Amino acid sequence: MSNLESFRQEVSKWLEENCPPSMRTPLVPEEEVWGGRNAQYVNPESKLWLERMGEKGWTAPNLPTEYGGGGLDRDQTKILHQELYKIKARPALNSFGIWMLAPCIIEFGSEEQKREHLPKIIKGEIRWCQGYSEPGSGSDLASLSTKAEDMGDHYLVNGQKVWTSYADKADWIFALVRTGPQEPKHSGISFLLIDMASEGVSTKPITLISGKSPFCETFFDDVKASKENLVGVENSGWTIAKKLLQHERNFISNFGLAGGGTGSGADVVSIAKKYLGEDNGKIAHPGHRDNITLHKMKEHAFGLTLQRSGDEGGKASAASSMFKYYGTEHNKDRYELMISSMGNKGLGWAEQGFSDDEQAITKAWLRTKANSIEGGTSEVQLNVISRRVLDLPS
Amino acid sequence: MKLILSEEQQFLKDTAQSFARDKTPTTHFRKLRDDENTKCWDDSIWQEMVQLGWSGILVPEEFGGSDFGIAGISVIMQELGKTLTPSPMLATSVLGVSAIKLLGSNEQKKIYLPKIVSGETTTALAIDEGNHHNPFDIEATATLEGDKWTLNGQKVFIIDGASADFILIVARTSGEKGESNGLSVFIADKNSKGLEVSQISTADCRNYANLIMNNLILDENALLGEVDIAGEVIEQVLDLGRIAMASEMLGNTEEAFEITVSYLKERKQFGVLIGSFQALQHRAAKMFCEIELTKSAVMAAMHAADENSNELERLSSLAKFQAGETLHLVSNEAIQMHGGIGVTDEYDIGFYLKRARVAEQIFGTSEYHQARYADISGF
C-alpha cells in the first residue's frame, strides 16, 4: 500500500470517529462557524467539530505543524478534502485568517508574529477581517489615505475603511495604512495588524442591493497600534498587499464553480427543468436550453483549467487574475440564467408570493453583481493579465 | 487523470516544435499553395515525419507502430498547427489507422497498418454526404450480391480525398438515413472502377475531394469487420479525429494569438505602441483566458481517449467546441488588430482565418457539439 493510500485510510478512520453526526448534515446558515472571541454556537457539535479539527491542524491542512497547522503536502491536502467531501462534512471553520492572512504571515511575518497569531487563527480563537478599500480608494487601492503616524513606541491610526466584511464581528483587522505620506503612493504603505477592541475603532454595517450584508464601514479615530504589529518592513506593505490579493482572488474565483457567493447552491439545469418544464427529459425551451448548455460547457472547461493549474503545481501570480475574472463573470452569468429560467418566480423579494428558495436565488443574483467588483474588478484583472502575462506596454 | 503531459508526450511535442520551426515554417505552406500542389502536402516532408515514427503513433506495436496514443499524436498536431503544416496525419494516421484498428479483422490490419506505418500508403475517410457534418445521415448504400459488394451514392468534403491511396467509405447496409444502426465501412482502392473522385477547391487551400460511387464493385473482404454494426466505432473514430483536430486548432490559435500580441508591441499609431490601448489589451486578455480553457479541454479529452474513459464523447465534444469557439474568436480578432496589413495576402495572418473556418466545420461545428454535449449531459 502506498503512503498516500494508508494516509487516506488514516484520515477516513479519524473522520469516522471525530466528525459529529450533525456536522455531516447540510449546513444551515445560523450554524456557520467563523470562530473568534465572541463566537456563538447554536449547535454545540459545531464547537466540538472546530476544536477537534483545530487541534489536528486540519482547519489549515497545508500550514506547518510548528504553528499549529496540519503540515500536509499538496497530495495529502487533496485527500483530506476528498474524504471530508465523501462524508459531506461541514466546514469546521470559515476564516479570512486562514484564507488570506496566514499565507502572508508565513511569508512576511516575524517569528514572534507567527507564534502569536497563526495558532489562534488555525484554532479559530481569533477572527480576522480585512481593511483594504477606502471610500476614496477602490480599484486604485494604492491611493489609500488612512494614516498611521509614528509616535515612537506605537502608531496613531486615523481614517476610514470600507467593505470590511464582518468587521462588526471580528477580533482583529489586517489593514493597509499610509506610513510614508511623502513617498510615492506605492512606497508609503504598511501592513498593520490592529486589535478591533482598541479604543477609537468603530464599525457600521452596509446594506446592499441584495439586502443585509456582512460588509461594514470601519472607522479609526486616534487608535493606538503597537509597533510589533507591523508585518514586514515599514513602507513596504504594498508587496504584501498584492500577495494577499492573489489569495483572495483564488478564493473568490472558486465561486464560479461552487455556485457560491451567498445563498443557494442551486443547479441551473434543475432550476430550468423545474420552471420551464421538461420535454422528453430535456429543458423544454430550446433557447434557454442552448444558453444553459453554453454556460455549462464553459464551466466544464473552466473547472478543467483550475484542475490543470493544480496539476501543474499551482503557479499562482497572474493565473489568479484569470481565475478571478473568469470565475466571477461566470457566476454572474449563472444567476442571470437562473432567474431568467424562473420567469416571474425569479423576481421575488419577500415571502408574499415566493418560496424561501426563490427569494434566496433573487438575492443571490443581486449579490453576484459584486463578485466582479470585490477583490479587484474584472477590468483590473484584465489589466493584470495584459501587463504581467502578455507583457503589453502601459 | 492528471492534466499534464507525460515525459514521452512532452518529448514528442518538443520534437514536433523543432520540426515545424526548422522544416515547415509558414513559408512552406505558402509555397505549396502558390505551386497549386494537388496534395497540398509535401512527399519528402511526409517521409521525414514517417522516419520520426509519426505515421504509426496509434498503431499497435505488433503491426510496427509505437502505440503512443491519441495524446502523443495530438501534441504533434498542435505544433504542426502553429505553422499550418499540412500532412496526411489526420486522415491517415488518426482516422485511417483508428478505423482499421478498431473495425478490421486481424488479416486486414496485417495488410494495411504496416504499409501506413512505413509511409507507403495514405488513406481518407469518406463519411459526410451533406452541407453539414452528421455521421448518421447516410444514404450511400452497399449491397451484397454473391461474393461482391456493390456501392452507390456520393460523399463530400473528404479530407485528403484527392490523394489517398485507399478510401474508407461509410455506407448503409440496412436501416434508414439518420440511424446509427445499419452502417458498415468499406475500404476501396482509389482507382477502383465505378469510383469517381474529384478534388474540390477550398478557402484553406488544403486537399479535399467529393466522390461518386456508380456501381462500385468491391470484393467481400473490402468490408472492414462486420456488417451493419460500425455505427458506434465510427463515432469513436470521429471522436479521436475531433480531438486531434481540436489540438491542431489549438496550435493554430496559439500562433495566431502570438503573432497578434507581437504586432501590438511593435506597431505604433498616434505616436505610441497600439498595445498600450486598453481597448485592445482587454480583448487580448480575454483571448488569453479562452486559450487557457481550450488547452485544458483538449488535454482532458486526449487523456480520456487514452484511458478509455466513459467521458470520451462528452470531452471530445467539449474540446472541439471550445477549440472552435476560441479559434473563431482569435482568428477574427487577429485580423482586426492587425488593421490593413491583416487583410493582405502577403501577410500570414489571413491563412489562419481561412484555415480556421474550414477546421471549425470538420467533424462538427461548435453548434453541432453544443447540441451533442447537451444530449449526452441530459440537459
Cell of residue A265, nine digits: 447552491
Q: Which of A67, A98, A122 is the last residue of a domain?
A: A122
d(CA B84, CA B66): 25
Distance from C-alpha of A80 to C-alpha of B298, rounded to nearest angstrom: 29
Chain A contact for B6, CB < 8 A? no
Q: Where are the domains of chain B?
A: 7-121, 124-222, 231-377
Domain co-membership, A301 together with A269:
yes
Which chain B residues touch A286 with a CB distance below 8 Å? Answer: none
A54 with A75, same domain: the answer is yes
Asked whether the predicted pLDDT for residue B341 surpasses 90, the reply is: yes
Gap from A316 CA to chain B (nearest CA, Å)? 14
Q: Are residues A99 and A147 in the same domain?
A: no
Predicted local confidence at residue A253, as pLDDT:
63
Q: Which fold has domain B231-377?
A: Butyryl-CoA Dehydrogenase, subunit A; domain 3 (1.20.140)
Q: Tell me the average pLDDT across B187-197.
A: 97
Residues A92 and A168 both lie in one domain: no
DSSP state of A159: E
Alpha carbons A118 and A97: distance in angstroms, whole number: 8
Cβ burial A283-304 (10 Å sphere, 16+ → b, else e): bebeebbbbbbbbbbbbbbbeb
CATH fold for the domain made of B7-121: Butyryl-Coa Dehydrogenase, subunit A; domain 1 (1.10.540)
**Nearest of A68, A101, A276 to residue A171 by alpha carbon:** A101
Taking the CA of residue A69 and the nearest CA in chain B, the distance in Å comes to 27
The reply to whether A8 touches chain B by the CB within 8 Å rule is: no
Q: Evaluate whether A271 touches A338 at the Cβ level (below 8 Å).
A: yes
CATH code for position A92: 1.10.540.10
Contacts of B248 (CB under 8 A, 6+ apart): B77, B78, B80, B81, B90, B359
Domain annotation covers residue A194: yes
CB contact under 8 A, A298 and B265: no
Domain shared by A101 and A31, yes or no: yes
Burial of A163 (0-12, 13-18, 19+ CB in 10 A): buried
A244 in a structural domain: no
Same domain, A148 and A99: no
Q: Does B261 touch chain A (CB under 8 A)?
A: yes
**Which amino acid, one-letter code, is at B367?**
E
CA distances from B320 to B67, B89, B118 (A): 23, 18, 30
The type of residue at A227 is K
- Tally of structural domains, chain A: 3
* Contact residues for B376 (Cβ-Cβ < 8 A; gap 6+): B313, B314, B317
Cβ pair B119, B48 in contact under 8 A = no
B260-269 contact pairs (CB < 8 A, 24+): B260/B284, B260/B330, B260/B333, B260/B334, B260/B337, B260/B338, B260/B349, B261/A390, B261/A392, B263/B337, B263/B338, B264/A392, B264/B337, B265/A391, B265/A392, B265/A393, B267/B339
Enumerate the residues of chain A whose CB falls inside 8 A of the CB of residue B278. 383, 386
pLDDT digits over B277-293, tens only? Answer: 999 999 999 999 999 99
Asked if residue A177 and residue A101 are part of one domain, the reply reads no
User: What are the pLDDT tens digits along chain A (394 aa)?
Assistant: 688 999 999 999 999 999 999 999 988 888 999 999 999 999 999 999 999 999 999 999 999 999 999 999 989 999 999 999 999 999 999 999 999 999 999 999 999 999 999 999 999 999 999 999 999 998 899 999 999 999 999 999 999 999 999 999 999 999 999 999 999 999 999 999 999 999 999 999 999 999 999 999 999 999 999 999 999 999 999 999 988 888 777 776 665 554 444 445 679 999 999 999 999 999 999 999 999 999 999 999 999 999 999 898 866 556 889 999 999 999 999 999 999 999 999 999 999 999 999 999 999 999 999 999 988 899 999 999 999 999 999 8
In this predicted structure, what is the pLDDT of residue A247? 78
Q: Is A211 inside any structural domain?
A: yes
Residue written as grid cell 451567498:
A262
Per-residue H/E/C for B222-277: HECCCCCECHHHHHHHHHHHHHHHHHHHHHHHHHHHHHHHHHHCCCEECCEEHHHC
Task: Pick one of 3.40.50.920, 3.50.50.60, 1.10.10.10, 2.40.110.10 as the CATH number of B124-222.
Answer: 2.40.110.10
Co-location of A217 and A278 in the same domain: no
What secondary structure letter does DSSP report for A98? I
What is d(CA B319, CA B370) in angstroms, rounded to the nearest whole number? 11
Assess if residue A188 is contained within a domain.
Answer: yes
In a shared domain, residues A216 and A269: no
Contact residues, chain B, for A385 at CB < 8 Å: 285, 288-289
Cell of B322: 471550445
One DSSP character per residue, B93-132 reads: IIIIHHHHHHHS-HHHHHHHHHHHHTTS--EEEE---SSS
Instruction: Decide if B299 touches A, using CB distance below 8 A.
Output: yes
Whole-number Å distance between alpha carbons of A158 and A371: 29
Residue type, B26: T
Considering the domain architecture, whether residues A211 and A284 belong to the same structural domain is answered as no
Q: How many CA atoms lie within 13 A of B4 on its CB side?
A: 9
- Enumerate the β-bridge partners of residue A148: A157
Residue A312 belongs to some domain of the structure: yes
If asked whether residues A133 and A111 sit together in one domain, one would say no
Chain B residues whose beta carbon lies within 8 Å of the beta carbon of residue A305: 292-293, 295-296
Question: Which residues in A lie closer than 8 A to residue B284 (C-beta atoms)?
Answer: 386, 390, 392
For cell 501592513, the residue is A191
pLDDT over 50 (residue B20): yes
Mean pLDDT calculated for residue range B117-128 = 98
What gap in Å lies between CA B90 and CA B57, rounded to an integer?
12
Q: What's the confidence (pLDDT) of residue A255?
A: 54
Task: In whole angstroms, give the CA distance from residue B125 to residue B97.
Answer: 10
Q: Which domain holds residue A292?
A: 254-389
Average pLDDT over residues B63-89: 97
User: In terms of DSSP bridges, do strands B123-126 and B166-172 run parallel, antiparallel, or are they unpaired?
Assistant: parallel
In a domain, A285, yes or no: yes
Domain boundary among A236, A263, A286: A236
Widest CA span of chain A, in angstroms? Answer: 76
Query: Is the same domain home to A261 and A373?
Result: yes
- Please give the mean pLDDT across all residues of chain B: 97
SS3 A294: helix
Q: What cell does A48 get?
A: 466540538
Which pLDDT score, from 0 to 100, does residue A317 have?
57
> From the list A281, A290, A300, which residue is nearest B318 (CB)?
A300
Strand, coil or helix: what is A174? Answer: strand
Percent of chain B whose predicted confidence (pLDDT) is above 90: 98
CATH assignment of the domain containing A160:
2.40.110.10
Residue from A12, A60, A391 nearest B261 by CA: A391
Closest to A382 (Cβ–Cβ): which among B3, B281, B294? B281
Tell me, yes or no, whether A167 lies in a domain. Answer: yes
Q: Which residues pair with A178 in a beta bridge?
A: A147, A189
Whether B285 and A298 lie within 8 Å, measured CB to CB: no
ipTM: 0.95
Domain-embedded: residue A242:
no
